[in-house]
A and B are shown apart, each in its own frame.
Chain A
């Protein structure tokens, strides 16, 4: 599903955010990207969502080379990826319904279908009945779940999340992670960047460790480094 081959990213200011990063993530896998702040976790996710392109090396996502993808194919490419942000990136002036439905609206989904799927997605994250509320009327945890509902509503084969539990207390964090694993259970590939090692241990999925822009472990898609029972 995702393959990084000797990927380096150097920004115009000279900082090298990734150097020679190589790893593979299989379809249906759930993988944690870990490492300290600034280790390059977010940069890896940006490369997957095509918010960045590599300076050197190749990024393949869903069989597409992100370096050679034409601009007019980017929207369709992004529709195949659900993205969850630490700061949710919800539209503050739009009710929950509009926020969650956005990926369907840009894909020109019929309104009836839209209604059905928004309800289903909100049900999945436990927010049914809050469609008409504005984001600021919700708790931080609820806002995060709205973001997740938006990420999964168009049933993308790939879900990526950048520090999705950063602002949540441990119980909520666990709850969100369980939600991600439920998506994995139905075949979605899930990549979660987190520095919360407690959660990583708890879930025992494969862990790709980044440090200073380089992969320190877990690059091979072999057994997880720490095995835990589900």
Chain B
């Protein structure tokens, strides 16, 4: 068989499959919808996780450390210690906030301005704001840094607001696992839906298969249109899933932007990336092909011509 003849036959099988699918528009649409929804769900979950991660930004922001000195530590000492801290590789930025300046800010922003006038002494200590480097924001690295500051005799307390980061990371990890489980289960569901659809089609076309085998059609020839049908279902379902997800992103975009603004952020909901779309379409195609193959292997061999 020459290459051009072979590819012509493939095109013929493909067109035949498209023709059959379009002739049963209603049934085809229902099947595509089931596959589309099953594929859209893990995709949506994936976007949710990705957006949650992106919206909370780089964790360096979240894990600023506040180092409070004891009240009697002089500013010069605090500045010297800040200079020491800057030498450490895991430290990104150190800002010294003198007690006077802290009090000024507190008076201005707290609304207790006049009440604070009655204070004889400044009750606030000098403070260092330490921002670790992004790559040193892991809980373990933060703990090391915290111990480093706590070890100084001049330091009163070190406050790390990392609890919520860890909790949030744990939640994301649970969601990621959930995503894997959902993807596997729904993938198996897609496989079953396509396999069953192909099985019904094989039974519907039993007579045709018998005659084709009778005139010398090989198993691969008989199988081919069903594989194309499976791939079309899978790919079609994936495209539908893509549209569903894009539509959901479009609908949610404005409310999410509003929500972000209330938290003082300019975060915008991100749609699926090119990679996401590629994976989605590839997964749909592969699942469709596999479902059809399994069904064809199971049912086609049992159909032999009878005279």
Docked CA distance A85–B214 (Å) = 11
Chain B residues, Cβ within 8 Å of A46: 307
CB distance from A147 to the nearest CB of B (A): 10
Q: Residues of B contacting A105 with CB < 8 Å?
A: 9, 12
Interface size class of A (residues with CB under 8 A): 20 to 34
Chain A residues lying within 8 Å of B305, measured Cβ to Cβ, are 51
Please measure, in the bound complex, the distance between the C-alpha atom of A76 and the C-alpha atom of B213, giving whole angstroms: 10
Contacting B214 at CB < 8 Å: which of A49, A72, A109?
A49
B2: chain A residues at CB < 8 Å are: 110
Chain A residues 26 to 62 lying within 8 A of chain B, measured CB to CB, are: 42, 45-46, 49, 51
Query: Which residue in A51, A103, A107, A108 is a CB contact (below 8 Å) of B307?
Result: A51
Question: What CA separation (Å) do A162 and B214 show in the bound complex?
Answer: 14
Stretch at the interface among B148-156, B215-223, B249-257, B288-296: B215-223
Contacts of A106 in B (CB 8 A): 212, 215-218, 221
Residues of A within 8 A of B5 (CB): 108-110
B221 nearest in chain A by CB position: A106
Query: Of the candidates B8, B215, B307, which one forms a contact with A111 in the assembled complex, judged by CB atoms under 8 Å apart?
Result: B8
- Is residue B211 contacting chain A, with contact meaning CB distance below 8 A? yes
Rounded to whole Å, the gap between the CB of A166 and the closest CB of chain B is 13
Whether B207 sits at the interface, judged by CB under 8 Å, is yes
Q: Cα distance A111–B211 when bound, in Å? A: 20
Nearest Cβ on chain B to A88's Cβ, whole angstroms: 10
Does B143 sit at the interface, judged by CB under 8 A? Answer: no
The smallest beta-carbon distance between A107 and chain B, in angstroms, is 7
B216–A75 touching, CB < 8 Å: yes
Decide if B213 touches A75 in the complex (CB within 8 Å): yes
Residue of B9, B212, B214 near A108 (CB, 8 A) is B9
Scan residues 174-213 of chain B and give those whose CB is less than 8 A from a CB of chain A: 207-208, 210-213
A89 / chain B contacts, CB cutoff of 8 Å = 207, 210-211, 214
Closest chain-B Cβ to A182's Cβ sits at a distance in Å of: 21
Q: How far is the CB of A96 from chain B (nearest CB, A)?
A: 14
CA distance A85 to B207 in the complex (A): 14
**B216-242 Cβ-contact flags toward A at 8 Å (1 or 0):** 111101000000000000000000000
- CB-contact partner of A49 in B207, B212, B221, B307, under 8 A: B307
Q: B214 and A78: CB pair below 8 A?
A: yes
Interface status of A91 (Cβ within 8 A of chain B): yes
With beta carbons under 8 angstroms apart, the residue of A103, A111, A162 that contacts B216 is: A103
CB distance from B129 to the nearest CB of A (A): 76
Most-contacted residue by chain B among A49, A83, A102, A106 (CB, 10 A): A106
A–B pairs, 19, beta carbons within 8 Å? A51-B306, A75-B213, A75-B218, A78-B216, A79-B215, A79-B216, A89-B207, A89-B210, A91-B211, A102-B217, A103-B215, A105-B9, A105-B12, A106-B212, A106-B217, A106-B221, A111-B8, A154-B216, A162-B307
Given contacts A91-B207, A92-B207, A106-B221, 5 further A-B contacts (CB under 8 A): A45-B307, A51-B214, A78-B215, A110-B5, A110-B8
The 7 closest A-B pairs by CB, nearest first: A79-B216, A106-B217, A78-B216, A103-B215, A75-B218, A108-B1, A75-B216
